[in-house]
Amino acid sequence: MRVIIESSAEHGSQRAAAIVAQLVRKKPRAILGLATGGTPLKLYQELIRMHQGEGLDFSRVTSFNLDEYVGLPPTHPQSYRHFMTENLFRHINIDIRNTHVPDGRALDYETYGSQYEAMIDEAGGIDLQILGIGRDGHIAFNEPGSSLGSRTRLKTLAPETIRDNARFFGTEEDVPRLAITMGVGTILESKKCILLAFGKEKAEAIAATVEGPVTAQVTGSALQFHRDVVVILDEESASQLQRRSYYDEVEEAHRRLQSGEVK
């Protein structure tokens, strides 16, 4: 893992957006894996700015989202399709036919999960997957105890996730108990991952993900097996990392290489 620690969520999101933009400019038909929630909002805002102000072109990009609540129609204000439309898709020139969010109203979730996996494969696989992380270290809706080889499937949400997401619904009772989600194994097949985490409430999960043992109880820790992961943090989310000084040294080495100071 490459761990990048920025001074704020804004700077971290700008760093992530620059990586996304570099890929889209190099590969206009890039396949992006997208996430929802509060963490990627500033990233999406920066991508919108880059599209509207710098001409970043998404017209040939295809996207696949990580997950969706079961039972919510696409028009529901808390559905992830609605989230993506309002916070990214309608502000850029992506072809909405090339955007994919799991169907929370599928009748046969086992079959649908296989179909979603097949769509990803047929598109050529995900070039860059954006990830957030839960306070218990889960990625997508792969709650603690999920198989590290899991595929897109139905998943029951943990009580901690329900409590955390209640702020979006008003009460815990209104939060759906089921979701359809890409599996850990699906995520690990992405060519590159960016894991974003901001705020002190994510510090323990980040320390366990980056420096702890690989365990199904912290599904984010499976990213240690991935060949190309960039973890972008702010100071608060990085506060429990034990090897902070080393990560800073690595970034300084990257900076010197890019500037030509080291040849």
Catalytically annotated residue among 117, 127, 138, 164: 138
C-alpha torsion angle, residues 184, 36, 32, 135 (rounded to 10): -40
Q: Which tokens hold the place of 62?
A: 């295809």
C-alpha closest to that of 221 among 230, 231, 234, 212: 212
Catalytically annotated residue among 117, 136, 164, 234: 136
Those residues with Cβ within 8 angstroms of residue 118's Cβ, 6 or more apart along the chain or in another chain: none
Question: Is the sign of the CA dihedral 36, 80, 225, 127 positive or negative?
Answer: negative
Residue 138 annotated as catalytic: yes
Residue 136 annotated as catalytic: yes
Residue 67 annotated as catalytic: yes
Residue linked to tokens 């700008």: 14
Catalytically annotated residue among 6, 68, 143, 164: 143
Catalytically annotated residue among 67, 68, 117, 234: 67
Round to whole Å and give the CA distance between 58 and 211: 35
Q: Residue 54, exposed/middle/buried by CB under 10 A (0-12, 13-18, 19+)?
A: exposed
C-alpha closest to that of 235 among 203, 212, 205: 203
Round to whole Å and give the CA distance between 107 and 190: 27
Name the residues annotated as catalytic: 67, 136, 138, 143
